[in-house]
């Protein structure tokens, strides 16, 4: 026996070395632990982590939706075209009304001028 090996023999048969037996016993111990649910702890840990990640995903999706709504609202507030459009429409309507008033005023002034023109000519003819 050299190198620290222990050989178990019985009736001339070789049963193996001590490190071989220790390896076999440790493998059997690991197998028993796994069969009895030792791996369940790892699975439970992964399930808990998965639940936490799902919660965080839902929370982040909620935040993204809130930020998207807020962004749309702020864009609406700062969009100049949306704000200026009613003012432009009011100015256009005012200009149309002013043009109508001006036309009516010119019609009245024309009638006055025609009337005054006739009276002035009538006065000339009458010698006044």
The overall pTM is greater than 0.85: no
Mean pLDDT of 31-39: 72
User: Given this model, what pLDDT does residue 11 score?
Assistant: 44
Which of these ranges, 17-21, 47-51, 58-62, has the smallest mean pLDDT?
A: 17-21
d(CA 91, CA 73): 27
Identify the residue whose tokens are 């439970």. 44
Cβ proximity of 8 and 15 under 8 Å: yes
> Which pLDDT tens digit goes with each residue over 52-108?
999 999 999 999 999 999 999 888 777 777 778 888 999 999 999 999 999 999 999
Angle subtended at Cα 33 by Cα 32 and Cα 36, rounded to the nearest 5 degrees: 85
The three-class DSSP label of residue 95 is helix
Which of residues 120 and 2 earns the better pLDDT score? 120
């Amino acid at each position: 026996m050299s190198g620290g090996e222990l050989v178990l023999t019985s009736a001339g048969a070789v049963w193996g070395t001590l490190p071989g037996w220790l390896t076999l016993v440790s493998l059997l111990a690991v197998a028993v632990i796994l069969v009895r649910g030792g791996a369940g702890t790892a699975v439970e840990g992964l399930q808990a982590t998965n639940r936490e990640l799902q919660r965080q995903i839902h929370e982040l999706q909620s935040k993204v939706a809130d930020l998207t709504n807020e962004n749309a609202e702020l864009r609406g507030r700062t969009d100049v075209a949306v704000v200026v459009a009613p003012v432009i429409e009011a100015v256009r309507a005012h200009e149309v009304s002013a043009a109508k008033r001006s036309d009516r005023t010119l019609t009245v002034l024309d009638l006055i001028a025609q009337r005054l023109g006739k009276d002035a000519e009538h006065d000339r003819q009458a010698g006044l």
